[in-house]
Amino acid sequence: MRAIILAAGIGKRLQEQGKQMPKCFVKVGGKRLVDRHLERLAQCGIGEATFVVGYMADEVRAHLAGNDSGVKVSFIENTDYLKGNILSAYAARDLFDEPFIMMDADVAYPAELFAKLVNSPHPDCLLLDENFDNDEEEMKLGADADGRVWEICRRLAKTWPAQGEGVGFFKCSPSTGAIFREMLGRVIAAGGEKLEYEEVLDMVMKLATIRFEYVGGLPWTEIDFPADLEKANRLFS
């Protein structure tokens, strides 16, 4: 299985650090996020990683050229990285014919959390943290009593039997990947270049059965703001 890591972003909400480097270069526990990803992939038996790069793409390529994790690294460039991350997801569409895990690059997490996704029996799967606030910042998941996820959005409009914050990783089978690719293309063609790929994934889950694994109690954080970076360094010092 391949990891597709969306690492094109600037990280402008990280203030000065976001101006000086790609967001995926931010250090947590003394290590850049890109290096932490490769360590986790290797620990969980994922042998290939494709980074979708954009901002300071050459710097990311140069840094990862010295990668000694044992994970084979390749790159796809999204030159329109200032628009929505839907374009980064679509840039990797040729890889959707095989099982893959799509990952946001701005997440710090332990191998134990990632292993929940890799080892899940569900071929199409998300990670759900049931300890959450239903604000309008992070992506939320809503699932039925049978464990099927029906909604991914910034704020849940209804109460679901299972609900929580999504970690930002999506394991996808080739059959669902075909639907995902088609829907991404349709939305972009209709003018949706500034959208997030999760908005398309919300459409896909109405057509394909996507389930989840609980990760509540495990440490992790998405890193968007300076306070998030401080939290990440407390968790993974």
Q: Spell out the residues 6+ positions from residue 21 whose beta carbon is closer than 8 angstroms to its own.
A: 11, 56, 59
pLDDT value of residue 203: 98
- The pair of structure tokens assigned to 64 is 């990862």
The domains of the chain are located at 2-235
Return the CATH number of the domain spanning residue range 2-235: 3.90.550.10
Distances (CA, A) of 200 to 39, 52, 156, 160, 196: 29, 18, 16, 20, 7
Closest CA to 123 of 156, 103, 98: 98
CB atoms within 10 A of CB 121: 7
Whose tokens are 């292993």? That residue is 115
- The pair of structure tokens assigned to 118 is 């890799």
| 13 pLDDT more than 80 | no
**pTM for the predicted model, two decimal places:** 0.95
For 207-225, the pLDDT digits (tens) are: 999 999 999 999 999 999 9
Q: Please tell me the distance from the alpha carbon of residue 223 to that of residue 187, in angstroms, as a whole number.
A: 27
Q: Report the residue count for the chain.
A: 237
For 47-101, the pLDDT digits (tens) are: 999 999 999 999 999 999 989 999 999 999 999 999 999 999 999 999 999 999 9
54 against 10, higher pLDDT: 54
